[in-house]
Amino acid sequence: MIDRLIVDCMQAASVDIALSLPCNMLSGVLDEIDRRAIMRIPVCREEEGVGIAAGAALAGRRPILVMQNSGLGNCINALASLAGFYRLPLFLLMSHRGGPAEQIAAQIPMGQAVFRLLDSLGIANIKVETPADFHCLSSFMRRTYESSAIGAALLSRELWHAQK
């Protein structure tokens, strides 16, 4: 249900290519992207996804990079010196790890730093914590592409817990 609503937001914003890395929180989203036959290219490292997204955007596509928030650290230079520098549109859809229910302690430092990192890069960002936030996510995605900007959404783990 939550996975479907997330991909509904992507389709409402005309997302037509996804670059992805694995995350157990996001596995349902990736399955749903495939079910709807949106082109998806799994990448080996987040920075590579920013590069492929830039090439796709140069051909007029609307790319989304689906990753864990820890991956933001693996692509900061590319976000700044490629997507941001050329004003190529890109949406970052991130699972927000490192919260209260996190099982992996090493996720905590980047989980805490992610908003400050995005703010310091000038990347507009929102938290998505309940299904009520999907309306906001959908319009934020659309605005991101229409203004050839970079936008980021952090999906909280509670989003999936709420449906169970």
Residues near another protein, by CB under 8 A: 17, 39, 41-45, 47-61, 63, 77-78, 80-82, 85-88
Residue 114 near residue 67 (C-beta atoms within 8 A):
no
Dist CA 79 CA 51 (whole Å): 9
Nearer to another protein by C-beta: 88 or 110? Answer: 88
Nearer to another protein by C-beta: 26 or 82? Answer: 82
Minimum distance from residue 16 beta carbon to another protein (Å): 9
Nearer to another protein by C-beta: 9 or 78? Answer: 78
Minimum distance from residue 93 beta carbon to another protein (Å): 17
Nearer to another protein by C-beta: 17 or 123? Answer: 17
Minimum distance from residue 73 beta carbon to another protein (Å): 16
Kindly give, in sequence order, each residue whose CB lies less than 8 Å from that of residue 103, ignoring residues fewer than 6 positions away: none
Minimum distance from residue 124 beta carbon to another protein (Å): 19
- Looking at the chain, list the stretches that DSSP marks H as alpha helix, in order from N- to C-terminal side: 2-12, 27-35, 46-58, 76-78, 108-121, 134-146, 158-161
